[in-house]
Chains A and B, each alone.
Chain A
Amino acid sequence: MSLHIQNLQATLEDGTDILKGVTLEIPNGEVHAIMGPNGSGKSTLSKVIAGHEGYVVTGGSVTIDGEDIGEMSIDERSRAGIFLAFQYPSEVPGVSNANFIRAALQSRLPQGQEIDAVAYYKDLYAKMDLLEMDRKFTARAVNEGFSGGEKKRNEILQMMMLEPKYCILDETDSGLDIDALKIVSKGVNAMRSPDRGMLLITHYQRLLDYIKPDHVHVMAEGRIVRSGGPELALELEKHGYDFLKEAALA
């Protein structure tokens, strides 16, 4: 059981190569981190896995638990268990957070089956408490007027509510102060489970002080150039990315 990315290649609509053959396997129960400089293709990788239509997959495959998801639409992938915590979450004006999350949960139920409102709110409030979110968040429009930190917390809240099989967190640590980072990490750590795989995409080692990865990969120019244990992140912290790029070229 794993999220398996095999030789994945993708371009922009204009043909610009972004992913040049990425191979990565995230088994259930493991947390992997991808680090790398800006423009290395980290965020693109997360969007391509989620099925973003702005990219053309030109080769390779993504399978979850053995099932190829290449032909699935964005929402089908979501319902199949892929969750992406966005670096820049969209605002959805006029739609309350509570209704949005409820609609997302509802989309996972068979037709004709309704979510139990009482159980839903109980669950929602418990998870909001863990993330130290004010109850008022339920009535506020999705991400509208949220601070950077509130948006990120909201992403983690949605992740906790949807309980996906595979979580991809795209630069969740960016724009967070240390307190917010601790709270967000608490939420992510609470989600760690033998039945779930996680992929953290980050620019900085800082996040990995709070969420300990099992494996660390370094991405540069559309490829994974190095893989290792948690110590790799520390090495990067010390030497920076230039060092790695040179190593990769050598």
Chain B
Amino acid sequence: MSYEDATTTLDHETREAIDIDRSKGDFTFPERHKYDAGRGLSEKTVDYICDVKNDPQWVREFRHKAYKIFNEKPMPTNWATKDLENIHFDDIRYYLSDGEKPKRSWDEVPEEVLKTFERLGIPEQERAFLAGVEAQYDSEAAYSNMKEELTKQGVIFVTSAEGLKEHEEIFRPWFGKVIPSGDNKFSALNSAVFSGGSFIYIPKGVKLKQPLQAYFRINSESFGQFERTLIIADEGAEVMYMEGCTAPKFETATLHSAVVELVALKGAKIQYVTVQNWSSNVFNLVTKRGLAMEDAEVRWIDCNIGSRLTMKYPGVIMKGRRARGEVISIALANTGQHQDTGAKMIHAADETTSNIVSKSISVGEGRATYRGQVHIPKHLKGCKNNTECDALLINSHSRTDTYPAITVRGNRHATQHEASVSQVSEEMLFYMQQRGLNEGQAMSLAVNGFINDLVREFPMEYSVELKRLIDLEMEGSVG
């Protein structure tokens, strides 16, 4: 092979022979970056990024303002885990790219990058079932393309950098509006140093039959990935967007801090599907929120399997009458991992409906936390919320916490909240093993059973992948 493996002395063939599946995302190529912002974060880093990206003045100002907010805001360790203090902002590299524009054809993508995405199966998926793909490698997209007929319909699917320059008139009015820079420390950080991510615009009445997909790949050590995505579905439009993420297992911690804003105008539907499988030393601190106008619908379908710490609470602001918001989430926390996930539902109009279904699995010493916020103010009427959170514990060291906060004012609303904690008991395992399944298979089956009703919500191609990932996690978790 023409490339070398930087993480281990074993060659690829040997490693694949030993452990092909589990190492699917665990490989890396030598860095060949033309642009490297260096370690640490300062005004200069922000300017460096602006210069390299040739940002317009308004974006430069936006970044600097956000940088100030980031510095002023304390770490949210008053409510969140102290592990956040182990992020060393001075050691992180905030921008790494080869300075190339994203390619429209895989043939033009540099060989190593192409090999990376081929190993992750992206070009194959694109051919099979996707309407468009963006593949990000460290700070910038290496590939971005969409089916031609969509271009003709006026669909825009480009990187955020291209979006803010080429489509400023659509991009700028919504950018940073659903999630202001000051929403939290990490949204401020992202706003200061963002690069990569997608800008999508679906024109009025256009309904995409196939999903668009983005894949976020971290290749470099001590790196922070800060993609920024803005999706706007115009009146009556429909789109499903899927994202996947992986990174190799480095010795040092890696930071992934994205901001994703969705805007569903009147009667529009946006579904955002995530299957995250970060390696176990990635801090994954992501802010995701959607705005749903009259009769619009925003659905977050979210699966978090890897990472060291994930903090992610996808939200929907239901701003128009009869708007609907939904968060369906699955989190699997293995030993050494903390999945701190949840949902935020802000009802801001009459007859709005929100639904939260969260299932978490804690394995070994893994920890799963659910944080939910549902807000229904007094002056509204006819709002509905349903919240279900179920936790499954596998072995006695694992931990699960639930912090639901449902604020309902006024008496013209309906809310429902259900929570459960269950275990894969010794007796259940004995029963399954007595039928011939080994311990790993038995646990996989129990876990897959636990999330079965949610997996149906994922597109078929992803649910197969999801099941495979869970099988691997469970096999790896038995001694």
Contact = CB atoms under 8 A, between A and B. Distances in A.
Nearest to B428: A90
Contact of A73 (B428, B431, B432, B433): B433
B477 interface: no
Interface stretch (B130-138, B251-259, B436-444): B436-444
Contact of A92 (B428, B434, B441): B428
Interface string B451-473: 11100000000000000000000
A90 to B, nearest CB: 4
B129 interface: no
B29 interface: no
Given A94-B452, A95-B452, A74 B434 contact: yes
A93 interface: yes
Interface residues of B, number: 25
Contacts of A86: 431, 434
A104 B437 CA distance: 6
Interface in A72-110: 73-75, 78-79, 83-84, 86, 89-95, 100-101, 103-105, 107-108
Contact of A93 (B426, B430, B434, B450): B450
Contacts of A107: 435-438, 441
B436 A162 contact: yes
A54 B426 contact: yes
Contacts of A105: 436
A100 B442 CA distance: 10
B445 A92 contact: yes
Nearest to B435: A104
Q: Is the interface of A mostly helix, strand, loop or mixed?
A: mixed
A50 B434 contact: yes
B446 interface: yes
B333 to A, nearest CB: 19
A90 B430 CA distance: 9
B449 A104 contact: no
Q: Is the interface of B mostly helix, strand, loop or mixed?
A: helix
A78 B431 contact: no
Contacts of A54: 426
B435 A162 contact: yes
Interface centre among A94, A105, A141 (most CB of B within 10 A): A94
Given A95-B452, A100-B445, A90 B427 contact: yes
Contact of A75 (B425, B426, B438, B449): B438
B436 A75 contact: yes
Interface centre among A50, A53, A89, A104 (most CB of B within 10 A): A104
A93 B441 contact: no
A135 interface: no
A94 B449 contact: yes
Contact of B433 (A75, A141, A162): A75
A92 B433 contact: no
A79 B438 CA distance: 10
Given A86-B431, A95-B445, A75 B439 contact: yes
Given A54-B426, A75-B439, A90-B428, A95 B448 contact: yes
B449 A103 contact: no
A103 B425 CA distance: 19
A78 B435 CA distance: 6
Contacts of A89: 431
A72 to B, nearest CB: 11
A212 interface: no
A78 B448 CA distance: 22
A52 B437 CA distance: 14
Interface string A24-65: 000000000000000000000000001011100000000000
A159 to B, nearest CB: 10
Interface centre among B422, B432, B441, B452 (most CB of A within 10 A): B432
B431 A90 contact: yes
A78 B436 contact: yes
Contacts of A78: 433-436
A170 B80 CA distance: 50
Nearest to A108: B436
Given A86-B431, A89-B431, A73 B438 contact: yes
Nearest to B444: A103
Nearest to A95: B449
Contacts of A90: 425, 427-428, 430-432
A94 B449 CA distance: 4
A92 B431 contact: yes
A103 B445 contact: yes
Nearest to B392: A93
Contacts of A104: 435-437
Interface in B229-265: none
Contacts of B435: 78, 100-101, 103-104, 107, 158, 162
19 contacts: A52-B430, A73-B433, A73-B439, A74-B433, A74-B434, A78-B434, A79-B436, A86-B431, A90-B432, A92-B431, A92-B432, A94-B451, A95-B449, A95-B452, A104-B437, A105-B436, A107-B435, A107-B441, A141-B449
A-B residue pairs, 10 tightest by C-beta: A94-B449, A95-B449, A90-B431, A94-B452, A104-B435, A74-B433, A107-B436, A78-B436, A90-B428, A75-B433
Given A74-B433, A92-B428, A107-B435, 15 more contacts: A73-B433, A73-B438, A73-B439, A74-B434, A75-B436, A78-B433, A78-B436, A83-B434, A90-B430, A90-B432, A92-B445, A95-B445, A95-B446, A95-B448, A103-B435
